[in-house]
DNA sequence: TCGGTTATCAACACAGTGTTGACTATCTCA
DNA sequence: TGAGATAGTCAACACTGTGTTGATAACCGA
């Protein structure tokens, strides 16, 4: 997906490339992206700084490659999300949001770095937006369907609602992961977010009430 | 509030300091914080780069000074927000959220830059968090009161709800201002956000229904 | 064993930040 | 009025990190 510095894929070269990615992910776990230099990545992969440029055109490209794997996973997961919201809407939403939370938590270093780089780098922004878009498309499809079958009240545009709720998830989860202030506890996130989604989609706590 | 490079406040010096702030705000309107160099700020204020350091210890300190004025305004505004939610809860929330939106829109350059710098700079993070906290305190007080008088259902922690909704506002508005994708139209924001707030606080579109 | 591709890095060029030290202008009170 | 103090200014320097060049070594297939 992401462009590399050579034509064919040989063994030793790929190992180096991988070593850079592994190093990057490891370093990002303990410090911010800005505080990791190309020198650090190169040293971690056992090469010199100029050699780094043989594998990646920039530090951002490394982040992009890491993000790329996360995005692929997200799109795969979202594609397999069940859409049977008729029988247990509240549960179904909670499970979907749970998957969103899970992706963030299991890739917290990359997520945090990507969100920081988004403002600066077009490609990161594009890639990130692709992944958010897949969540938004899923949710707005479902909301529209729920409104169509009369389970959810109209009075709000399904797309706008889906975008807002997904952006809320993004922000609330990053705040929790980074222990910002204000933020909510990581453990409370799923519960609180689900409640807001359900109330604002259905106008009630207990849609399709048992 | 923010520390300066000299002891007493003389005329010429203050004008210079102000010229730097004015330059910064002007440049931030057209390009990102990272793309504005200290050289640019100095030149804009009619001084050399070393002289810049006489007035501010760093580029971040300039942003901090700009942000400081915004934060002061926010705290003042929030302090004067009416708390009479009994007669017209929906309208009262919409007006409060409208003020939040207004602050962002009228200081979009500083807001965007501050959000970007937040990840990197402790002081910016602290100052930003102070302003978000004042919105959160206001909203969670009101939500708690609404729950106490039985207008809003319990079943969700008032503080966690307030934090989540305020973070949603922050994120949705910045996405709209920066024309990110996904995002909602700037003109739709107030309406969509209000609906989500009201539904998720009251579990209904029409609390205290007329 | 030769020619091309892969892989490597010392040395360089450059941009931006932050510091030093010397200099000038102004103000102050004797 | 004129000798310090203080405010204000900047050329020149030191440093850090990025990205580039060109020369060189290691390998691999014909």
Contact, B187 CB vs strand D, < 7 Å: no
Q: What is the pLDDT of residues B26-59, one digit of tens each?
A: 999 999 999 999 999 999 999 999 999 999 999 9
Q: What is the pLDDT of residues A136-156, one digit of tens each?
A: 999 999 999 999 999 999 999
- How far away is chain A from the Cα of B202, in angstroms, using its nearest Cα? 9
Contact B129 A182 (CB under 8 A): yes
Contact A170 B166 (CB under 8 A): no
End-to-end CA distance of chain B: 47
Measure, in angstroms, how far nucleotide D20 C1' is from residue A65 CA: 23
Residue of A nearest to B173 (CA): A164
Q: Is B160 on the interface with A (CB under 8 A)?
A: yes
Quick check: B7 pLDDT over 60?
A: no
Contact B181 A133 (CB under 8 A): yes
Quick check: B14 pLDDT over 90?
A: no
Q: How confident is the model at residue A49 (pLDDT cuts 50, 70, 90)?
A: very high
Q: What is the pLDDT of residues A73-115, one digit of tens each?
A: 999 999 999 999 999 999 999 999 999 999 999 999 999 999 9
Distance of CA B100 to the CA centre of its chain: 7
Is residue B131 within 8 Å of B71, Cβ to Cβ?
yes
B25-34: long-range contacts at Cβ-Cβ below 8 A with a sequence spacing of 24 or more? Answer: B25/B66, B25/B109, B25/B110, B28/B109, B28/B110, B28/B112, B28/B113, B29/B109, B32/A119, B32/A120, B32/B113, B32/B116, B33/B59, B33/B63, B33/B113, B33/B116, B33/B117, B34/A120, B34/B116
Distance CA B9, CA A162 (A): 52
Residue of B nearest to A191 (CA): B156
Contact B161 A129 (CB under 8 A): no
Measure, in angstroms, how far nucleotide D6 C1' is from residue B6 CA: 10
Contact, B13 CB vs strand D, < 7 Å: yes
Of A60, A71, A13, the residue nearest A38 (C-alpha): A60
Q: What is the pLDDT of residues B138-149, one digit of tens each?
A: 999 999 999 999
Nucleotide showing the shortest C1' distance to residue A53 CA: D19
Average pLDDT of the residues in A154-183: 98
CB nearest A156 (choices: B115, B153, B192): B192
Distances (CA, A) of A36 to A19, A21, A23, B59: 15, 13, 10, 21
Up-side HSE of residue A210: CA atoms within 13 Å toward CB?
A: 3
What mean pLDDT, rounded, does chain A reach?
93
E-strand stretches of chain B: none
């Amino acid at each position: 997906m992401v462009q590399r510095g050579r034509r064919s894929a040989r063994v030793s070269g790929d190992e180096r490339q991988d070593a850079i990615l592994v190093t990057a992910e490891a370093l990002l776990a303990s410090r911010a992206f800005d505080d990791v230099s190309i020198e650090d990545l190169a040293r971690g992969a056992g090469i010199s700084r100029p050699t780094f440029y043989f594998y990646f055109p920039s530090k951002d490209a490394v982040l992009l490659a890491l993000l790329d794997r996360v995005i692929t996973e997200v799109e795969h997961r979202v594609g397999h999300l069940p859409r049977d919201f008729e029988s247990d809407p509240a549960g179904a939403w909670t499970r979907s949001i749970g998957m969103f939370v899970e992706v963030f938590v299991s890739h917290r270093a990359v997520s945090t770095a990507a969100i920081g780089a988004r403002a600066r780098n077009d490609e990161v922004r594009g890639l990130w937006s692709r992944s958010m878009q897949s969540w938004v498309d899923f949710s707005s499809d479902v909301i529209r369907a729920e409104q169509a079958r009369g389970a959810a009240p109209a009075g709000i545009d399904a797309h706008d609602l889906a975008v807002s709720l997904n952006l809320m998830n993004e922000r609330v989860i990053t705040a929790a992961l980074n222990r910002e202030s204000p933020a909510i506890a990581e453990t409370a996130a799923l519960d609180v977010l689900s409640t807001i989604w359900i109330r604002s989609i259905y106008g009630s706590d207990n849609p399709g009430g048992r």
